[in-house]
Amino acid sequence: DPTNKDPERYWAEPFVLPGNVDGPQSPWYGRAGWTWYTGSAAWLHRIVAEWVMGVRPEWEGLRVDPCLPSGWDRARVMRNWRGATYEIAIERGGASGLTLDGRPIEGTLLPVPKSGEKHVVGVRVG
């Protein structure tokens, strides 16, 4: 990975997520491009929020189905959705399951909330 070995080749700011990095077939192999006017940061945020943390909005409700990296024992998410606020605590260990305001929920889909509600969600992943 040339981006970790040669900052002159990478050519971009280290604190910006580029839209692309040229591959080995390019004469500019390892050079980052589209740094300040890319949608990459928004897509990375969406991937982490919806697929790592597993909090995905759906028409029928809010899906909570995390896939934490093996080195993570816990994570927290604050999510505003359809006028409600969810405080979601994800923990590894024990039987997998989901609670909404302390009550068990079957499956991984939280019901559509009423606007202005605040909820506490507990998630256990095996």
pLDDT, one tens digit per residue, over 92-101 is: 988 899 999 9
pLDDT, one tens digit per residue, over 94-122 is: 889 999 999 999 999 999 998 899 999 99
Find, among 87, 88, 121, the residue nearest to 102 by Cα.
Answer: 121
Instruction: Report the distance separating Cα 110 and Cα 122, nearest Å.
Output: 11
Instruction: Report the distance separating Cα 87 and Cα 60, nearest Å.
Output: 19
**pLDDT for position 102:** 97
DSSP class per residue in 41-108: HHHHHHHIIIIIS-EEEETTEEEE-----TT-SEEEEEEEETTEEEEEEEEESSS-EEEETTEEESSS
**pLDDT for position 96:** 92
**pLDDT for position 17:** 86
Instruction: Report the distance separating Cα 83 and Cα 117, nearest Å.
Output: 7
Instruction: Report the distance separating Cα 89 and Cα 21, nearest Å.
Output: 35
Contacts of 23 (CB under 8 A, 6+ apart): 29
Scan for tokens 């390892």, then name that residue: 30
pLDDT level of residue 60 (50, 70, 90 thresholds): very high
pTM for the predicted model, two decimal places:
0.79
**pLDDT for position 76:** 98
Find, among 31, 76, 74, the residue nearest to 55 by Cα.
Answer: 76
Report, as an integer, the average pLDDT of 44-69: 96
Homologous superfamily, domain 58-125 = Maltose phosphorylase, domain 3 (2.60.420.10)
Domain ranges (residues) in the chain: 2-33, 58-125
**pLDDT for position 39:** 85
**pLDDT for position 41:** 85
